Structures are given as C-alpha cells and as structure tokens.
Amino acid sequence: MGTDVVAASSDALTGVTSRDVAIDPSTGVSARLYLPSFRPAARVPVLVYFHGGAFVVESAFTPIYHAYLNTLAARAGVVAVSVNYRLAPEHPLPAAYDDSWAALKWVLANAAGSDPWLSQYGDLSRLFLAGDSAGGNIAHNLALRAGEEGLDGDARIKGVALLDPYFQGRSPSAARTWSFICAGKYPINHPYADPLVLPASSWQHLGASRVLVTVSEQDRLSPWQRAYYAALKGSGWPGEAELYETPGESHVYFLTKLGSPQALAEMAKLVAFINRD
C-alpha cells in the first residue's frame, strides 16, 4: 500500500506539468512541484501540500497523490508543492514535522529567485498549507510553528486546509498507534496528537488568516475533527474557520473517488477557499 510511484510528467488530462526537486539531500527530503498549463500575467497562490498515510505509508509520488495534485493545481490555478517527508517507524516523529518545516522554508527561499516556477508565478502573500489525514495534522502543527516563529521575508500563510485531519482520541489502540509513530517520544495527550489540550492562548498563535476543516461522515476520526473545529472557533482566534462535511463517505474518500460528485464538490470548496480573495 502506498509504495508504487509515478514519474513527474506533463499530464495530458489536466495540462499540468510536474517536476521533482531535492529539499535536503542529507535527509532525502524532496518535493514534487505542479504548474498549470496557463502562463498568467499575474502571480498565483502557492499551495504547499502534505500527503496522508498515518505517518507510515504513502508519498508525494504515489499514483493517488499525483492524480489528486494534478487535478487540484489545474482547478485552483496554483503552483503546488507536494512534500515528500520521511516516514515512521524508520524515522519516527518529529521527523515528518521537521522535514515539512524544512520544505516550507525551502519554498520561501526559492520563491525569491532560484526556482523558476515559484519565482516567476508564485505569490507568497497568498501562501496556503493543506494536507489530508496525517498531512492535515502536519499542516496544523506547521501553522502553529509559523505563528510562533514567523516566516522569512514577506510571506504569510493566507489559509490552512485540513482534509479529514489525523486527530484522534486517547483509546488504548490510539495510544499504541501513536507510540509506534513517535517511538514513544510523545504521549497520546501531547498537542501533536491532540490539539484539544492546547489552552485558548495557544490557538492565538495559529499563523493563518483562515482555516478549512473537512469531515467525512463515516470517518472514525470525525468526532475529533469536529471537536478541533469547535475548539478553534471557541478559542478567540481572530481568523475565520469553516467546516465542510460530506455525508455517507469514509476517511479521505476523495483520493480514491476523485471523479465522484462528492469528491468534485469537496474540491470545489477547497478551490473556492484558496481563490476567494
């Protein structure tokens, strides 16, 4: 599961071109960039995407993520950067967080001139983070870190999209899974795993103007995803939070049912979230 890879290419269906870049050769962290076929006169949003897979499977280069990012880049009209971070158990947390932070900093540095797509077309005043499942967890934690530490230059995170994010309760099975992912370094009630333990003051550091949380009705994680949204709304955080629910579907259904009416409707919501202003 999640081990097959496809090469970067020009996608005939969407017209999107992709290419791979090395982020940090010392760790093997890399990314796949996506550029829509149009060549706009104005700059477009930059979307940094983190794949799911419970921190242990999948990559930015697997067929389902390559297809999803091709479609999303085309429909949203963004320069997308899909991050390929290291996986547990060989590289337990916080490796995925550190790798993703390094990738975000790479985007900021290379948009200043060295990467032709980012420097020519990217608008860092419209920087978005997004991810599904574990990638949603990463996007949340990076937004907190960005709010606490700041970002280089004039960049700011316009929005964060958490697609069926990987937040869960404290059951024995959840605790065992989490311990496996982080090699026992963090308890199940650590904010990495359960942001509901954050005091209201910590939510103020979420470094984004708006947040979209999507929930699939049959996802076993849906209670904690809704609770995340409620906690954010009730924290006094000054940004705008949105909740989007899809009835009758399970966890990250939109990856394997990309052309379904429900998946297309959810992607339309995400596209509107990115391009609203």
Just list the catalytic residues: 133
Rounded Cα–Cα distance for residues 43 and 27 (Å):
31
Rounded Cα–Cα distance for residues 60 and 53 (Å):
11
* DSSP-derived pairing of the beta strands 44-50 and 29-35: unpaired
Rounded Cα–Cα distance for residues 225 and 214 (Å):
8
Rounded Cα–Cα distance for residues 202 and 133 (Å):
22
List b or e across 162-189, with b for residues whose CB sees 16 or more CB atoms inside 10 angstroms. Answer: bbbbbbbbeeeebbebbbebbeeebebe
Phi-psi map region of 86: left, alpha, beta (phi>0 left; psi -120 to 50 alpha): beta
* DSSP-derived pairing of the beta strands 240-246 and 210-216: parallel
Helix then strand then coil, % of the chain, to nearest 5 = 35, 20, 40
Contacts of 25 by beta carbon, 8 Å cutoff, 6+ apart: none
Q: 193, 191, 185, 140: which is closest to 167 by C-alpha? A: 193
Q: 174, 28, 180: which is closest to 89 by C-alpha? A: 180
Q: Which residues pair with 81 in a beta bridge?
A: 33, 48
Rounded Cα–Cα distance for residues 138 and 252 (Å):
16
